[in-house]
Each structure stands twice: as C-alpha cells, then as structure tokens.
Amino acid sequence: MAHDGHGVALAFMAHPDDMELMCGGTMARLADAGWSIHVATATSGDCGTMTESPWAIGHRRTEEAAAAADLLGGTYHCLDERDCLVVYDKPTIRKAVDVFRVVAPSLVFTHAPRDYMVDHEVASLLARNASFIYGAPNISTRPRHDASTVPHLYYCDPMEGVDPLGREVEPTTVIDVTGHMDRKAEMLACHGSQREWLRAHHGMDEYIDAMQRHAAFRGEQVGRDFAEAFVQHRGHAYPRNDVLAEFCSNALA
C-alpha cells in the first residue's frame, strides 16, 4: 500500500472483468498519477463458461484479472466466493473487511446498489460495509494501518447505465477517460475467456465494442469522446467532497 502523498484506490467488484468494464479508465488515470492500485473480486467467475469446469475457469479468470491489474501496476485480490452465490453473511463480510484491512484504501469503487445482477448488488453492500468499519480495531485480527479511515466511496455505472427497472441512473461525477481508452480496452482484452461465454449466454459477440459504446454515450453527455460515470456515496461519516472531480481537472460533476 502507498500512503506517501498519493492515494490508494480499490475497485471492489463481483467478478473478474467488472473493474475493466466499469471503472478501468479512471483507475488508469489514477495509476498514471502515482496512486497505489488494488482490484478485488468477490468471486473467481467460476460460472463464466459453457464448457469448462468451475475450477478450470476460475483459475483461468483469476489469472486474467491479475494480468489486467498488472497493466496498472496494481495488485489483485480474490475473496474466492462462488459465482452467482455471493451472499451477505458473516464469513463473507469478514473476507471483505480483511481485504480492506490489507489495502487501507482512501478511494473505493464498487457496483451500483441496484444492478442487473444480484452478485453485483451484494458486492456493493459488502464494499459499503467494509469501507465503513474496516478501520475499527476490533473488526479484524489483521494489523490495522495507521492511515485507515472511511474512504471516498463511488458506485460505478450499472450495466447500460440503467437500474433493474430500466430507469436511467443520473451520475454525480463523470470522468473523461478519452486518453485512457486504449489501456481500458487492453485490460478488458486480458479476459479472453469471456468472449465465448458472453456470446453463448448473453448473445453478445462484441465484448470490447459494447464497452466502448457505453463510454462514448457517457462522453457525449458531457462533451468528451469517452467517459465513465459514478454516483458518490455521501452518507454519514463518509467524505462528501468529490475527490474524483478534484483530482481530474477535466472531470464534470
């Protein structure tokens, strides 16, 4: 972890490739500015296949996730929960808290509280709880870093920018990622296992194109070529200044 004047960013997501799709460009901007980068997933993505065993695809997908994080000079963590079976219970909460304890993030990205997939919603809840409590000495037996504090917390765009009822999400913060789209696409391309899965299960054979279209959609809304959108969590005890807008001089909030 880095607490030397630069921040520590953690993307806490449900599956390998979620970070790349939802906040990869912003994470790349932070990495280029000297931030310490961490990516965590609740699962190994062991249901993301039509042909491989859960162990084979889980191993393959965590390797892909680590390779993508490496492109940011980052570190990858996995809670090793089962895909599509992520639950909000004491053992899983403890795993999430322990990741936060190790990383001590100052900035956290996670899924929207309401999204098309329940794994995403549960991962969002895990991140919210862990971000709030990980700094309390008694919550974990892992060593507590002196810099532990309630971090800035941002929810990424849900898929297609809409909630499960089809209502468009209104972001609080939009980050220009035009200059980092090549890296975002390169990270997403690390997840080669997902092309066949998405084509078979979702009817999508345009993994990277779909990502680029959504980034272009958000970019068009704010007069940029490509952008990523977020909603900041501003509840009690959380920082309420928009650190992303402050950090990114061409962010539009």
Query: Which three-class secondary structure state does DSSP give residue 137?
Result: helix
Which amino acid does the sequence have at 115? D
Q: Which residue has the tokens 């990502």?
A: 211
- Which CATH homologous superfamily contains domain 8-247? LmbE-like (3.40.50.10320)
pLDDT at 201 over 90: no
Question: 199 exposed, middle or buried (CB, 10 Å; 0-12, 13-18, 19+)?
Answer: middle
Which amino acid does the sequence have at 2? A
| pLDDT for 1 | 43
- Alpha-carbon distance of 242 to 192, in angstroms, equals 35
- Alpha-carbon distance of 98 to 166, in angstroms, equals 35
- Alpha-carbon distance of 175 to 194, in angstroms, equals 26
pTM for the structure as a whole? 0.93
Which amino acid does the sequence have at 251? A
Residue pLDDT, tens place only, 159-169: 999 999 999 99
- Confidence band (pLDDT; 50, 70, 90) for 195? low
Residue pLDDT, tens place only, 107-128: 999 999 999 999 999 999 999 9
Task: Name the H helices within the chain.
Answer: 18-32, 54-70, 90-103, 118-133, 181-189, 194-201, 207-221, 243-247
